[in-house]
Amino acid sequence: MTFHKKHHTRTHSGLAAVIVTGLAITGALTTAPALAESPEEKGLAIAVEADKRDLGWVDSEAELKMVLTNRNGETSTRELRIKTLEVQDPDVGDKSLTIFDHPRDIEGTAFLSHTKIAEPDDQWLYLPALKRVKRISSANKSGPFVGSEFAYEDLISQEVAKYTYKWLRDEACGDLQCFVIERFPVYENSGYTKQVVWIDQEEYRAMKIDFYDRKDSLLKTLVNADYKEYLDQYWRAHTLQMDNHQTGKSTTLTFEDYQFKVGSNEGDFTSNRLKRAR
């Protein structure tokens, strides 16, 4: 999970990110809007550049902890692993497999996601207690993932073609300068009307995302922190905190032990393998 051709360019982070249409993206993007460049064109160009910088990592694995915090400050912790496969076909999205190891009541639960470009994403959940694989319907992608503040649709690779874009402004974000862009889901069953994304101008990493619900009210905020660089190119946030402003709940994901090019293949990401996922 992270901030990631006919417009079929991709962002490869599971939780967020952001096409060149023939625009040569250079340092000109870090200044005022380019000559004759509309806010929509600039937003799209920023998304493309972020995507372009995150191509070629092949596959990855990571261990993580998920901490659920209720509105009273009480917490519960889960331990899990995530495997991700970069799909080179520009008309097909990436694939990911999430496996829960702890606590016992959720141990063995596995979630498989095949991101699509124009069609609804394919997602399956294996529940050990029921000993069956449940397909997540396209109408339920906005529902909470195993009780967390992350929705199922937050866990797909953020394919650029899934959104339209608009650049809003440039502003400081902590010690960095960020582009602030809006992205609007093309998928009609999305739980969001729009997302506002802060992307740092130096490395094109998604630093923060505000999610607006179907009533166009601020629902959640995701903050990505503790970025580290891998293979001298690929940046990954090691702390992702999702705060739900409407319920007072939050979920924090803490990643560790990222590994890349570990030899995963298509056969590791099939629904038939979910029951045997380890």
The full DSSP string for 128-145 is TTTTEEEEPPGGGTTSBS
For the chain, the structural domain boundaries read 27-262
Q: Give ∠ CA 73-237-93 in degrees, rounded to 5.
A: 110
Per-residue b or e along 169-186, where b marks 16 or more CB atoms closer than 10 Å to that residue's CB: ebeebeeeebbbbbbbbe
Distance CA 66, CA 10 (A): 26
- Runs of H (alpha helix) within the chain: 39-52
Which class for 27: exposed (0-12), middle (13-18), buried (19 or more C-beta within 10 A)? exposed
The pLDDT of residue 26 is above 60 = no
Distance CA 237, CA 259 (A): 14
pLDDT band at 2 (very low <50, low <70, confident <90, very high): very low
pTM for the complete prediction? 0.84
Give the start-end residues of each E strand in 13-91: 59-69, 75-85
Please give the torsion angle defined by the CA atoms of residues 187, 190, 193 and 195, in that order, rounded to the nearest 10 degrees: -90
Instruction: Check residue 32 and give its pLDDT.
Output: 41
For the chain, the C-alpha Rg in angstroms (whole number) is: 18
Token pair of 206, please?
């998604």
Which class for 82: exposed (0-12), middle (13-18), buried (19 or more C-beta within 10 A)? buried
Share of the chain above pLDDT 70, in %: 85
Q: Tell me the per-residue pLDDT of 89-148, one tens digit each, with 9 for 90 and over.
A: 766 788 999 999 999 989 999 999 998 876 778 889 998 888 889 898 776 778 899 899
Q: Tell me the per-residue pLDDT of 178-202, one tens digit each, with 9 for 90 and over.
A: 999 999 998 888 899 999 999 999 9
Please give the torsion angle defined by the CA atoms of residues 53, 59, 64 and 68, in that order, rounded to the nearest 10 degrees: 70
Distance CA 264, CA 109 (A): 20
Q: Which of 2-6, 148-152, 182-186 has the lowest mean pLDDT?
A: 2-6
Instruction: Check residue 36 and give its pLDDT.
Output: 55
68: how many CB neighbours lie within 10 A of its CB?
17
Q: Tell me the per-residue pLDDT of 63-75, one tens digit each, with 9 for 90 and over.
A: 999 999 999 999 9
Token pair of 166, please?
């608009």
Residues with Cβ within 8 Å of 201's Cβ and at least 6 positions away in sequence, in order, are: 29, 30, 170, 176, 177, 178, 179
Select the CATH number that applies to the domain covering 27-262 from these four: 2.50.20.10, 3.20.20.140, 2.70.50.60, 3.40.190.10: 2.50.20.10
Three-state secondary structure call for residue 229: strand
